[in-house]
Amino acid sequence: MNIIVTETKEQLSEQACSIFEAQVKADPESVLGLATGSTPLGTYEKLIEGYKKGNADYQRVKTLNLDEYVGLGPDHPESYRTFMEENLFGHLNIDAANTYIPDGTADDLEKECLRYEEVIEKVGPPDIQLLGIGENGHIGFNEPGSSFDTPTHIVELAASTREANARFFPSIEDVPKQAVTMGIRSILKSKRIVLIASGERKARAIERLLAGEIDEAFPASALKNHDDVTLIVDRNAYQFVDGKG
Ligand code: GLP
């Protein structure tokens, strides 16, 4: 695993942005794997700034998102489709038809999982996948205990994940209990993975990622089975690894 430690969250976002821009410049038809959560927001802001400056052209880029809440559609303010439109897609010259996110409102969710897996096969795998990490080590919405050998599937969200994400909803009762997520098997198909983590809240997860064993109880540890992972982490999230916290 390549590790880049930055002093600030801003620098972390700049680093992640430049990796993605370099990918798109090298191949204008790149497939980008994208993530939600607050950590990627800075990276997306930098990508938008870069686009406005003419650093990269997204016309032929395709994107595959990791996950979506069950029951939340494009018209819901907290759906991941809305998040992506507001924080990235709506500001780039990307073709909406090339942006893929699981449909959490599908009548038959099992079928939707199969359909999304086919999309990944057809469009992907991503040239680069951006990942955040949950405090409990989840990636996408693969919660602790998820098999590393799963494709896109429906998950029951951990109570701690619903609590962590409650800040985006009027109350905890409004946080969906389920999500559709790419499985760890699908995520590991990406050619390259960039994991970003910022702030003290993530420091224990980063410590465990780097010092711990590969273990289904800690989903992010599956990334150690991939040969091209870059971890970009700010000093606060790295504090228990370098002992400077
Ligand atoms: C959500 C997303 C994950 C994300 C995680 C951390 O649960 N499904 O993809 O990595 O939250 O989010 P944040 O960056 O807000 O801490």
Cβ neighbours around 76 below 10 Å, total? 15
Shortest-distance atom of ligand 1 to CA 141: 8
> How far apart, in Å, are the Cα atoms of 130 and each of 19, 105, 194?
10, 24, 5
For 5, the 3-state DSSP assignment is strand
CA pair distance 196, 9, nearest whole angstrom:
10
Q: Which residues contact 25 (CB under 8 A, 6 or more apart)?
A: 55, 56
Measured N-to-C along each axis, helices 40-52 and 80-87 cross at an angle, to the nearest 10 degrees, of 40
User: Could you list the active site residues?
Assistant: 67, 136, 138, 143
Which residues contact ligand 1 via a Cβ below 6 A?
35-39, 66-67, 132-134, 140-141, 161, 165
Q: What is the distance in A from the centroid of ligand 1 to the CA of 21?
A: 22
In the chain, DSSP assigns E strands to 2-6, 31-34, 62-65, 67-69, 99-100, 128-131, 153-156, 178-181, 193-197, 229-234
Residue 244: per-residue pLDDT: 56
Q: How far from the centroid of its chain's Cα atoms is residue 172's Cα?
A: 22
Question: What tokens appear for 153 in the block?
Answer: 């599937």
Q: Which residues of the chain have pLDDT under 50?
A: none
Which residues share a beta bridge with 196? 232
pTM of the model: 0.96
Residue 242: per-residue pLDDT: 75
For 101, the 3-state DSSP assignment is coil
Closest CA to 32 of 87, 94, 118: 94
